[in-house]
């Protein structure tokens, strides 16, 4: 638990108080502890990410930040308010995009927004105005009157985002906003999230895609088994936990068994994965030559820049999407 406590440098914290401040948050489901002592801060106007594999506790954290599910222990402050006593006031200033869409499939696209806006006590006229603008924003203007059920996954996701914006939130929580979407739909969504950030909305998102985290997040924490194992900007994390380059090689199945000891003379960090072997080096081409000089035959090889995936592998010994 203690190594997960994040301390903000004083000079960055002076301008504005953090939008979210969580200290030693835990969440227990029966005997199982899904979140095990997590502390973090989200600053105004930034995009903050939770990166972690399935079951890491990302959604449980998001539900606690959204002031729906109370933490079992620890303290949380959102907009300087306590979610245990001021849940309604907090939720009034926040938009939530849950992991699985909970749109009303029986209603039309527009009706979904109108009903939702009413829960924020907007007048019907104001709901209609905002719904129209938001449907244009997420490129669903021409589908306003169609039922939700036949929409594609990407359209539903965009509609859920539009719905979360009905209240003009200061803070937007997105639980895996692009999981299950095709690359084009993801890029449309990312673009919309950039624009919201430009408008000053604070974003908190979870993902298990490194590229998404690298693209969108100013800062992120890596979560594994209910704990934070690292935090920083994407570039910072890569610098601290990985080398400049990674050499990926594939070798014949007969060679895999002894490969780790065969490569040990190179003195590099190696990861033997089921389908490939990763070597962490500052000069990938040179390392490939060294591997060949050891008499190892590679079926294929690839030198690439290291990514958050490598950071994750380093920290947890597992790949993110296993």
Partner 1 sequence: MTTPVAVRVWEGQIRTVWNAWRTSVALSMTQPFIFLAGMGFGVGALVDAGDGAQSSLGGLSYVQFLAPALLATTAMMAGAFEAMWPVHDGFYWRRTFEAVAATPVSPRAVVNGLMLWWTTRVVVGVGGVAIALVVMPSTRSWGIIPAVVVSVLCGLGFAAPIASWTATRTSDTPFAALQRFVITPLFLFGGAFYPLTALPGAIRPVAWVTPLWHGVELCRSFTVGNSSPYGVYVHLGVLLAWCVAGYLACLVTFDRRIRR
Ligand X SMILES: Nc1ncnc2c1ncn2[C@@H]1O[C@H](COP(=O)(O)OP(=O)(O)OP(=O)(O)O)[C@@H](O)[C@H]1O
Residues 95 to 114 in contact with partner 1, rule: CB under 8 A: 96, 98, 102-107, 111
List CB contacts of 175: < 8 A, sequence separation 6 or more: 58, 59, 62, 97, 98, 99, 205, 206
Residue 52 binds to ligand X (criterion: CB under 6 A):
yes
Is residue 277 within a helix (H) or strand (E), and if so which, with residue range?
Answer: strand 277-281
Q: Which of 40, 79, 116, 280 binds partner 1 (CB under 8 A)?
A: 116
Tell the smallest beta-carbon distance from residue 66 to partner 1 (Å).
6
Could you identify the residue written with the tokens 């969504």?
189
Q: Which of 1, 12, 17, 55 binds ligand X (CB under 6 A)?
A: 55
Out of ligand X, partner 1, Mg ion, none, which partner does residue 180 contact, by CB within 5 to 8 A per kind?
none
Given a contact cutoff of 8 angstroms between Cβ atoms, the answer to whether 287 and 268 are in contact is: yes
Q: Cα separations (Å) of 1 from 30, 39, 56, 212, 237?
A: 20, 10, 15, 27, 20
Residue nearest to Mg ion (CB): 59
Residue 120 binds to partner 1 (criterion: CB under 8 A):
yes
Out of Mg ion, ligand X, partner 1, none, which partner does residue 121 contact, by CB within 5 to 8 A per kind?
partner 1
Q: Which residues pair with 147 in a beta bridge?
A: 108
- Residue 271's CB is within 10 A of a number of other CB atoms, namely 17
Residue 64 binds to ligand X (criterion: CB under 6 A):
no
Residue placing its CB nearer to ligand X in the complex, 56 or 78: 56
Residue placing its CB nearer to partner 1 in the complex, 19 or 238: 19
Residue 29 binds to ligand X (criterion: CB under 6 A):
yes
- Fill in the DSSP letter of residue 297: P
The Cα 7–Cα 295 span in angstroms is 48
Out of partner 1, ligand X, Mg ion, none, which partner does residue 157 contact, by CB within 5 to 8 A per kind?
none
Residue 118 binds to partner 1 (criterion: CB under 8 A):
yes
């Amino acid at each position: 638990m203690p190594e997960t406590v994040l301390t903000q440098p004083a000079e960055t914290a002076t301008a504005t108080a953090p939008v979210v401040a969580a200290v030693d948050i835990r969440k227990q489901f029966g005997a199982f502890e899904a979140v095990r002592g997590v502390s973090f801060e989200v600053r105004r106007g930034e995009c903050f990410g939770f990166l972690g594999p399935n079951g890491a506790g990302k959604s449980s954290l998001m539900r606690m930040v959204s002031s729906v599910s109370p933490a079992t222990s620890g303290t949380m402050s959102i907009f300087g308010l306590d979610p245990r006593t001021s849940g309604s006031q907090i939720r009034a200033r926040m938009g939530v995009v849950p992991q699985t869409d909970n749109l009303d499939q029986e209603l039309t696209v527009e009706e979904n927004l109108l009903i939702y806006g009413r829960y924020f006590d907007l007048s019907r006229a104001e709901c209609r105005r905002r719904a129209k603008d938001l449907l244009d924003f997420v490129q669903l203007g021409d589908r306003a009157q169609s039922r939700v059920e036949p929409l594609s996954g990407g359209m539903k996701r965009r509609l859920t985002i539009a719905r979360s914006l009905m209240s003009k939130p200061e803070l937007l929580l997105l639980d895996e906003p692009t999981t299950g979407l095709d690359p084009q739909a993801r890029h449309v969504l990312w673009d919309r999230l950039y624009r919201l950030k430009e408008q000053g909305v604070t974003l908190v998102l979870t993902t298990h895609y490194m590229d998404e985290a690298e693209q969108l997040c100013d800062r992120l924490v890596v979560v594994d088994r209910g704990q934070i194992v690292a935090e920083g900007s994407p570039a910072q994390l890569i610098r601290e936990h990985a080398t400049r380059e990674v050499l990926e090689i594939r070798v014949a199945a007969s060679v895999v068994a002894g490969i780790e000891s065969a490569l040990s003379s190179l003195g590099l960090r190696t990861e033997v994965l089921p389908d490939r072997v990763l070597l962490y080096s500052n000069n990938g081409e040179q390392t490939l030559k060294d591997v060949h000089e050891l008499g190892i035959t590679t079926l294929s090889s690839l030198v690439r820049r290291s990514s958050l995936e490598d950071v994750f592998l380093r920290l947890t010994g597992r790949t993110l999407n296993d």
